[in-house]
Amino acid sequence: MRLATLRDGTRDGRLVVVSPYRPDGAGGIHVAREADTPPSLQAALDDWDRVAPALAALAIRLASGELTGEPLDAARLGPPLPRAYEWVDGSAFLNHVRLVRKARGAEPPATLETDPLVYQGGSGVLLGPNDDIRVDDPSWGPDFESEVVVILGDVPQGTRAADAGHHIRLVTLCNDITLRYLVPDELGKGFGFFQSKPATAFAPFAVTPDELGDAWRDGKLHLPVVTTLNGAVVGDPSAAEMHFGFPRLIEHIARTRAFTAGTILGSGTVSNADRARGISCLAERRTIEQIETGRAVTAFLQPGDEVTIEARGGPFGTIRQRVVEGSGA
Alpha carbons 308 and 235: distance in angstroms, whole number: 11
User: DSSP alpha helices (H): ranges in 70-115?
Assistant: 94-104
Segment contacting a second copy by CB under 8 A, of 55-63, 64-72, 194-202, 299-307:
194-202
Nearer to a second copy among residue 186 and residue 289 (C-beta): 186
Alpha carbons 212 and 36: distance in angstroms, whole number: 26
Segment contacting a second copy by CB under 8 A, of 49-57, 123-131, 213-221, 316-324:
123-131
Residues 6+ apart with CB under 8 A from 145: 175, 176, 177, 178, 268, 269, 280, 281
Segment contacting a second copy by CB under 8 A, of 21-29, 54-62, 107-115, 206-214:
107-115
Decide if residue 11 touches a second copy (CB under 8 A).
yes
For the segment 51-90, give every residue that binds a second copy (CB under 8 A).
Answer: 83-86, 88
Decide if residue 21 touches a second copy (CB under 8 A).
no
Segment contacting a second copy by CB under 8 A, of 49-57, 66-74, 193-201, 285-293:
193-201
Name the DSSP letter for residue 156: -
Q: Give which of 322, 310, 259 is closest to 133, Cα–Cα.
A: 322
Q: Give which of 3, 35, 36, 34 is closest to 17, Cα–Cα.
A: 3
Nearer to a second copy among residue 86 and residue 289 (C-beta): 86
Decide if residue 114 touches a second copy (CB under 8 A).
no
Decide if residue 35 touches a second copy (CB under 8 A).
no
Pairing of strands 133-135, 319-325: parallel
In the complex, the smallest distance separating the C-beta of residue 228 from a second copy, rounded to whole angstroms, is 25
> How many residues belong to the site for a second copy (CB under 8 A)?
57
Nearer to a second copy among residue 262 and residue 314 (C-beta): 262
Q: Which of 1, 18, 149, 179 binds a second copy (CB under 8 A)?
A: 179
CA torsion, ordered 208, 214, 218, 223, to nearest 10 deg: -90
Decide if residue 117 touches a second copy (CB under 8 A).
yes
Q: Which of 27, 65, 68, 125 binds a second copy (CB under 8 A)?
A: 125
Decide if residue 312 touches a second copy (CB under 8 A).
no
Q: Which of 198, 235, 247, 315 binds a second copy (CB under 8 A)?
A: 198
* C-alpha R_g of the chain: 19
Name the DSSP letter for residue 32: E
Query: CB burial class (10 A; 0-12, 13-18, 19+) of residue 165?
Result: middle
DSSP bridge partners of 271: none
Dihedral-angle region of residue 268 (phi above 0 means left; psi in -120 to 50 means alpha; beta otherwise): left
Decide if residue 15 touches a second copy (CB under 8 A).
no
Query: CB burial class (10 A; 0-12, 13-18, 19+) of residue 177?
Result: buried
Q: Decide if 323 contacts 142 (C-beta within 8 A).
A: yes
Q: Which of 7, 20, 39, 46 binds a second copy (CB under 8 A)?
A: 46
Decide if residue 239 touches a second copy (CB under 8 A).
no
Alpha carbons 202 and 35: distance in angstroms, whole number: 27
Decide if residue 158 touches a second copy (CB under 8 A).
yes
Decide if residue 167 touches a second copy (CB under 8 A).
no
Nearer to a second copy among residue 20 and residue 138 (C-beta): 138
Decide if residue 325 touches a second copy (CB under 8 A).
no
**Which residues sit at the interface with a second copy, rule CB under 8 A?**
11, 46, 83-86, 88, 91, 106, 109, 111, 115, 117-125, 134-136, 140, 156-159, 179, 182, 187-199, 252-253, 255-260, 262-263, 327-329
